[in-house]
Structure 1
């Protein structure tokens, strides 16, 4: 179990099934997920929004130092996006990092990035703060050249 591997790394004792269930139940509640999700198989038969929430739940339980969120906003309705963004913001600490890949400003309005990197052909071509994303949202990628 990934959580117990993490706990071992941190010098903490392993959790038994009942303790694990308690930890996961608290995370489910914090993420505004339905408790009955715990009765389902992991990653099986989930809708798009449920799948995204489940990914965040897994990150929340393990407490990753680095998380890569590839288009976590894809396929989410407005309410689900806000829930997922709230959950991601709740995971952020000075001790961890989140690398988010997105094509849309709406996620960045809810999760304020420290840095924005623009990639083209597999290379970072521009780096800035969150205002870079806003600039592109207003003027398109062709406006990058005029961003200072």
Structure 2
């Protein structure tokens, strides 16, 4: 069974650019911000979800980590699944080419008495 697991997870680790020794660590213990985001994408890849919702996947990432995470998200998107990403920054769109973009704008009105 462990050999089958390694055969299954190794390509996903490579996709997210995570070293195999991370499998020996507790979830998110001692991970940097970029490693935590990579780990989230790894979990999505392992689960094979039909719909994934990610809020601010790009927050706190340096350019290299953003490229790695974006590359993995692009690899996860297929015609049979969907990824909903919520972001506040356009820089994510430099690396991920979505099928659809929805822009939500909120207006706050303050009453001054």
Q: TM-score higher than 0.5 here?
A: yes
In structure 2, distance between residues paired with 1:91 and 1:31: 10
Assess, with a 3 A threshold, how the Cα gap between structure 1 residues 100 and 49 changes in structure 2: closer, same or farther: same
Displacement over 3 Å in runs of 4+: none
Bigger relative contact order (CA 8 A; separation at least 6): 2
Q: Which residue of 2 aligns with 1:90?
A: 75
* TM-score of the superposed pair, with normalisation by structure 1: 0.67
**What stretches of structure 1 of length at least 5 have no aligned partner?**
1-15, 122-141, 143-148
Q: Which residue of 2 aligns with 1:106?
A: 91
Alignment RMSD: 1.6
Correspondence 1:49-64 to 2 at 5 A: 49-64=34-49
Report which of the two structures shows the higher radius of gyration computed on alpha carbons: 1
**What stretches of structure 2 of length at least 5 have no aligned partner?**
108-113
- Structure with the largest fraction of strand: 1
Q: Secondary structure at the match of 2:27?
A: coil
The partner residue of 1:37 within 19, 22, 30 is 22
The Cα shift of 1:17 comes to 3.2
